[in-house]
Amino acid sequence: MFQKKNIITVQHTESMHHKNGMIGSWSDWELTETGMQHAENIATNLKSEFPDTSFSLYASPLSRTKQTAEIIGKQFNIAPQITTALKERYLGRAVGQSVQWLKDNIEQEEISIYDKCFSDAESRFDVWQRMIPFYETILGSTEENIVVVSHGDSLSIFNVMWLGLHVEVLNTIDLYGVSGGVSFLYQTEMGKRIIKRMSDTAYYKSKAI
């Protein structure tokens, strides 16, 4: 028998870099006012749907994810556990630059998961390797109800891990969400892994679900 799991992943809500043309990556952008409101709505709607559920809460240390997680945690009266495993992909010397700068100065097109846009950046395979210990820890834990707040690229990799697919599948498919998207992942007692809903944006609307 397997440990039942109810994992909710939340992609951080609107951040300043979504509005100013700058790179996200490890630049420590904060949420916009809209992003703060969307995070509040997500928290309220999740609490409405799971009023009596106790969750463990994990988040990336970057401000935009940490702020999103803290708002959710306040609704459930829990503090987020911060882990660097959930950080966005590091883009090396592009960090702190604009998206246009990256396009103009990119060293290598990323054709495979092993490619790096800059020599000092992480590849998607590097992110996979960074996330594996965290993934295996929560999968092997006795925690049944878990919220994970992270970034778009990191969560797309997490989704592939969850489905038990090989890392190189990322060369041909992606399971991306959008900012503020909420996904629901389950593992049954028989070990079957399910993604029931993926990147549901209804949760950041103001009307309770």
Question: b/e string for 38-65 if b means 16 or more Cβ within 10 A?
Answer: bbbbbbbbbbeebeeeebbbbbbebbbb
- Give me the pLDDT at residue 141, please: 95
- Give me the pLDDT at residue 209, please: 47
pLDDT bucket at 206, cuts 50 / 70 / 90: confident
Is residue 82, in this structure, part of any structural domain at all? yes
Looking up residue 153, the CATH number of its domain turns out to be 3.40.50.1240
Whole-model pTM above 0.85? yes
Is residue 209, in this structure, part of any structural domain at all? no
What span, in angstroms and rounded, lies between the C-alpha atoms of 61 and 65? 7
Is residue 136, in this structure, part of any structural domain at all? yes
Is residue 143, in this structure, part of any structural domain at all? yes
The DSSP bridge partners found for residue 187 are: 5, 193
- Give me the pLDDT at residue 1, please: 84
Based on the structure, what is the number of domains in the chain?
A: 1
What span, in angstroms and rounded, lies between the C-alpha atoms of 43 and 75? 6
- Report the range of poorest mean pLDDT among 27-36, 96-105, 122-131, 200-209: 200-209
Average of pLDDT values for 43-63?
97
What span, in angstroms and rounded, lies between the C-alpha atoms of 176 and 155? 7
Structure tokens at 109: 């097109």
| Three-state SS at 6 | strand
pLDDT bucket at 111, cuts 50 / 70 / 90: very high
Is residue 98, in this structure, part of any structural domain at all? yes
Is residue 190, in this structure, part of any structural domain at all? yes
Average of pLDDT values for 85-94?
98
Q: At residue 87, does pLDDT exceed 60?
A: yes
DSSP structural state of residue 118: S
Residue with tokens 């103001």: 206
Domain that holds residue 44: 5-204
